[in-house]
Amino acid sequence: MASAKLKEVIVVEGRNDTLAVKRALDADTIETRGSAIGEEVLAQIKRAQASRGVIVFTDPDHAGERIRRIISREIEGVKHAFLAQHEARGKRKIGVEHASPDAIRAALGSVRTEWADPRDEPPLTWEEYIELGFVGQPASSELRREIAELLGIGYGNAKQFYRRLQVLCITREELFQALERVGKDAVDES
């Protein structure tokens, strides 16, 4: 069964990631060839963003997060797709190339757009974030991991995850629903 070609260009780290994406769906890719993204690659990504849009789909590891930050800083309005670490685990490494075609399609089917102008509702405050248990508790890391997987936004340390909630415009309703699904009570919404 032939599927339509994805409009956006997928930014991946390397050739094996491109092959994995192409096994899952019909899409064009740009390869960063590592976490030290050169000006030429950034220029390609900027051109693709202007003409077709870009989805950043990097490995769920430190290097992948570094690439994601560089691209987000340099190019406005890019979309992000995330894999959970367990979906991208190989025998020795973690990477997009190890993910199943179904996991890749699911990740690319639930992209998030980075947006500089936040939504109408006030953003979650740092104090509320702490009160919800995302930082400073023994299970905070696991809570962030579970919520990241439910929301499809990728895991991050306390500060990275807080920023990601803001930048990807995760609504309070989305966050509180995810908290309910993992069995954690949300603070009063009033």
CB 27 within 8 A of CB 21: yes
Q: Is residue 31 part of a domain?
A: yes
- Note the pTM of the prediction, 2 decimals: 0.77
Q: Is residue 165 part of a domain?
A: yes
Rounded percentage of the chain residues whose pLDDT exceeds 90: 62
Q: Could you read off the pLDDT of 59-79 as tens digits, one per residue?
A: 999 999 999 999 999 998 899
Check whether residue 108 and residue 141 sit in a common domain: no
Task: Enter the DSSP assignment of 85.
Answer: G
| C-alpha–C-alpha distance, residues 9 and 147, integer Å | 27
Residue type at 189 in one-letter notation:
E
Closest CA to 94 of 138, 55, 54, 63: 63
Q: Could you read off the pLDDT of 125-175 as tens digits, one per residue?
A: 899 999 999 999 999 999 999 999 999 888 889 999 998 888 888 888 889
Q: Could you read off the pLDDT of 13-41 as tens digits, one per residue?
A: 999 999 999 999 999 999 998 888 889 99
Q: Is residue 187 part of a domain?
A: no
Q: Which residue has the tokens 């609504």?
A: 171
Kindly give, in sequence order, each residue whose CB lies less than 8 Å from that of residue 117, ignoring residues fewer than 6 positions away: none
Q: Evaluate if residue 3 carries a pLDDT over 80.
A: no
> ∠ CA 22-28-30 to the nearest 5 degrees?
105
Q: Is residue 53 part of a domain?
A: yes
Q: Is residue 72 part of a domain?
A: yes
Check whether residue 29 and residue 109 sit in a common domain: yes
Average the pLDDT over 76-93 and give the result: 91
Domain interval for residue 24: 9-113
